[in-house]
Amino acid sequence: RRVMALVRVRHCSAVVYGRRAPLRCPACGGTLGAGGLPAAPVTLRCPFRHGHGQPRAFLVRPTRGTFLRGYDGSSDLHVGITNSQGVVYNYDQEGVHRACSGWEQCLCIPLLQPHLWELQQHWDHLLEQFSQGEAWLPHRYNEQEHNCYTYALAFINHILSRQGKRPLSKGEFTERFVMPQSRKASRYLTLHQQLAHSDFYIVPLPEEEQNS
């Protein structure tokens, strides 16, 4: 099922969110067309992508269910790396999986710049070869110390080393690449949940912003 974008409209003393632009302001009842450019609807794109359509990327999804159905903001997450065809390589207690389905709603972080032509050509071979390493046998798995994130980050650092670049720590990769996406997703999920039971979600503006 395709996830629709949300719409944000600023009017009078509030910001109004909805699945479509209202004809009249739900906060004051005024006509929105009279507000000029500041009142023009802004589209908020869904931050989740179909992971199997995202080649050479780092993906994040809930271990169970999906972000938009049942995710409570604190459930366990699972990560993986796609090859050039969107097959998701991911590691758990059963070893490395090569998934062709199940990653239809993910946070997606592209891993290769378009100009890195040679790496693009060898990506699938490098990912497959890396995944056959003894480090990723099922018995090596440890939920806290040697898990899906360990696997994905180790492959990313393997690629960085081939480019002569320094490795990234888990904290550094998370802060630079994962957290910006997570913050967007968190905001979107809050709105999505509010709009599950009402047509519009109204957020009053701080007093100093109301007439600006």
Residue 36 pLDDT: 60
User: Residue 192's closest CA among 12, 102, 71?
Assistant: 71
Question: Bigger pLDDT: 209 or 91?
Answer: 91
Confidence of residue 197 (pLDDT cuts 50, 70, 90): confident
User: Residue 206's closest CA among 13, 5, 6, 4?
Assistant: 13
State the DSSP H helix or E strand holding residue 62, giving kind and residue range, or none if neither.
strand 57-62
Q: 110 near 86, Cβ under 8 Å?
A: no
What does the pLDDT look like over 93-141, one tens digit per residue?
999 999 999 999 999 999 998 788 889 899 999 999 999 999 999 999 9
What does the pLDDT look like over 139-183, one tens digit per residue?
999 999 999 999 999 999 999 999 999 999 999 999 999 999 999
Residue 1 pLDDT: 45
What does the pLDDT look like over 59-75, one tens digit per residue?
999 999 899 887 887 78
pLDDT of 56 > 50? The answer is: yes
